[in-house]
Amino acid sequence: MIRTNLLRIIKTGFQNFWRNSWLSAATISIIVLTLFVMTSLLLLNVITQSVVADLENKVDVSAYFNSESPENDILAIRQDLIKLSEVKSVEYVSKEEALKQFKERHKDNQTLLQSLDELDDNPLQASLNIKAQSAAQFETIAGFLEQSKYASLVDKVNYHQNREVIERVSNLASNIGRGGIIASLVLALMAIFITFNTVRLTMYNWKDEISVMRLVGASNWYIRGPFVVEGVIYGILAAMATLIILYPALYFVSPKITSFLPEVDLLYFFEVNIGQILMLLVGVGAVLGSLSSFIAIRRYLRV
Amino acid sequence: MIYFENVSKIYNCNGSSDPCVALDSINLRIRPQEFISLAGPSGAGKSTLLKLLIGEEKPTEGKVMLDNQNLNLVSLKHLPEIRRKIGMVFQDFRLLANRTAYENVAFAMEAAGDSNKEIGQDVPQVLDVVGLADKRDYFPHQLSGGEKQRVAIARALVHRPSVILADEPTGNLDLLNTWDIIKLLLKINELGTTIILATHDRDIINNLSRRVITLDKGKLIRDEQKGRYIL
DSSP A1: -
Kindly state the percentage of chain B with pLDDT values over 70: 98
Provide the 3-class DSSP secondary structure of residue A151.
coil
User: What is the mean pLDDT of the segment spanning B55-70?
Assistant: 90
A64 and A213, same domain (yes or no): no
Closest C-alpha to B27, from B6, B58, B51: B6
- Tell me which of A133, A163, A193 is where a domain ends: A163
A142 and A184, same domain (yes or no): no
A245 and A296, same domain (yes or no): yes
Which among A16, A216, A220 is the nearest to B108, CB-wise? A216
**Is the pLDDT reported for residue B214 higher than 80?**
yes
- Tell me which of A163, A179, A214 is where a domain ends: A163
User: What is the mean pLDDT of the segment spanning B82-107?
Assistant: 91
Mind telling me how many Å the CA of B76 is from chain A's nearest CA? Answer: 7
A141 and A271, same domain (yes or no): no
User: What is the mean pLDDT of the segment spanning B84-105?
Assistant: 91
* Euclidean distance between CA atoms A122 and A128, whole angstroms: 17
Give me the pLDDT at residue B188, please. Answer: 92
CB proximity list for A292: less than 8 A, separation 6 or greater: A195, A196, A198, A199, A200, A231
Other Cβ atoms within 10 Å of A15 Cβ, number: 16
B54 to chain A: closest CA residue: A215
Q: What amino acid occupies position B139?
A: F
Backbone angles phi, psi at A188, to 5 degrees: -65, -40
User: What is the mean pLDDT of the segment spanning B7-19?
Assistant: 79
Closest C-alpha to B4, from B36, A203, A285: B36
**Is the pLDDT reported for residue B15 higher than 70?**
no
Mind telling me how many Å the CA of B94 is from chain A's nearest CA? Answer: 6
pLDDT tens, per residue, chain A with 303 residues: 788 888 989 998 898 888 888 888 988 998 898 888 888 878 887 887 777 777 777 777 888 888 777 888 888 888 888 888 878 888 888 888 888 888 888 888 888 888 877 877 777 888 888 887 776 777 778 778 777 777 777 787 777 667 777 777 778 777 877 887 787 788 778 877 887 888 788 788 888 888 888 888 888 888 889 888 988 999 899 999 999 998 888 888 888 888 887 777 888 888 888 889 889 899 988 888 888 888 888 888 876
Which among B88, B97, B111 is the nearest to A222, CB-wise? B111
Helix axes B116-129, B101-111, angle to 10 degrees: 130
Mind telling me how many Å the CA of A33 is from chain B's nearest CA? Answer: 28
Is the domain defined by B2-224 classed in CATH 1.10.275.10?
no
Cβ contact A215–B94 (<8 Å): yes
* Euclidean distance between CA atoms B7 and B62, whole angstroms: 4
**A197-250 pLDDT, tens digit each:** 887 887 888 888 888 888 888 888 888 898 889 889 998 999 999 999 988 888
**B148-189 pLDDT, tens digit each:** 999 999 999 998 899 999 999 998 888 888 999 999 999 999
For residue A222, list chain B residues with Cβ-Cβ distance below 8 A.
Answer: 110-111
Give me the pLDDT at residue B231, please. Answer: 67
Which among A5, A217, A302 is the nearest to B84, CB-wise? A217
Contact criterion met (CB below 8 Å) for A179 and B72: no
Is the pTM for the entire model greater than 0.80?
no
Give me the pLDDT at residue B212, please. Answer: 93
User: What is the mean pLDDT of the segment spanning B102-110?
Assistant: 92
Other Cβ atoms within 10 Å of A251 Cβ, number: 12
**Is the pLDDT reported for residue B110 higher than 80?**
yes
Cβ contact A215–B76 (<8 Å): no
A76 and A184, same domain (yes or no): no
Radius of gyration of chain A (CA): 31
Q: Tell me the β-bridge partners of A70.
A: none
The CATH number for A129's domain is: 3.30.70.3040
Mean pLDDT of chain B: 90
B51 to chain A: closest CA residue: A215
Closest C-alpha to A167, from A130, A134, A131, A135: A135
- Tell me which of A107, A136, A163 is where a domain ends: A163
What does the DSSP assignment read for chain B? -EEEEEEEEEEPPTT-SSPEEEEEEEEEEE-TT-EEEEE--TTSSHHHHHHHHTTSS--SEEEEEETTEEGGG--TTTHHHHHTTEEEE-TT----TTS-HHHHHHHHHHHTT--HHHHHHHHHHHHHHTT-GGGTT--GGGS-HHHHHHHHHHHHHTT--SEEEEESTTTTS-HHHHHHHHHHHHHHHHTT-EEEEE---HHHHHHH-SEEEEEETTEEEEEETT-----
Other Cβ atoms within 10 Å of A211 Cβ, number: 16
Q: Indicate the domain borders of chain B.
A: 2-224
Give me the pLDDT at residue B16, please. Answer: 66
Count up the domains in chain A and report the number.
2
Give the containing element (helix H, strand E) for A157. Answer: strand A154-157
Cα dihedral A115, A118, A123, A129 sign? positive
CB proximity list for B154: less than 8 A, separation 6 or greater: B101, B105, B123, B126, B127, B129, B130, B132
A202 and A217, same domain (yes or no): yes
* Euclidean distance between CA atoms A54 and B28, whole angstroms: 86
A137 and A194, same domain (yes or no): no
Query: Burial of B35 by CB count in 10 Å (0-12 exposed, 13-18 middle, 19+ buried)?
Result: middle
Contact criterion met (CB below 8 Å) for A245 and A36: yes
Cβ contact A5–B113 (<8 Å): yes
CB proximity list for A5: less than 8 A, separation 6 or greater: A222, A225, B113
CB proximity list for A231: less than 8 A, separation 6 or greater: A199, A286, A288, A289, A290, A291, A292, A293, A294
Give me the pLDDT at residue B2, please. Answer: 92
Domain around A111: 59-163
* Euclidean distance between CA atoms A90 and B131, whole angstroms: 92
DSSP A125: P
DSSP A302: -
Cα dihedral B91, B92, B96, B102 sign? positive
A48 and A66, same domain (yes or no): no
A44 and A76, same domain (yes or no): no
A239 and A263, same domain (yes or no): yes
Cα within 13 Å of Cα(B45), Cβ side: 24
A269 and A187, same domain (yes or no): yes
First to last CA, chain B: 28
Q: What amino acid occupies position A253?
A: V
Give me the pLDDT at residue A160, please. Answer: 66
* Euclidean distance between CA atoms B77 and B89, whole angstroms: 22
| ipTM attached to this prediction | 0.81
Give me the pLDDT at residue A146, please. Answer: 78
Residues 173-202 of B with CB under 8 A from A: none
CB proximity list for A8: less than 8 A, separation 6 or greater: A222, B110
A227 and A85, same domain (yes or no): no
Other Cβ atoms within 10 Å of B189 Cβ, number: 18
Mind telling me how many Å the CA of A8 is from chain B's nearest CA? Answer: 8
Q: What amino acid occupies position A138?
A: F
For residue B108, list chain A residues with Cβ-Cβ distance below 8 A.
Answer: 216-217
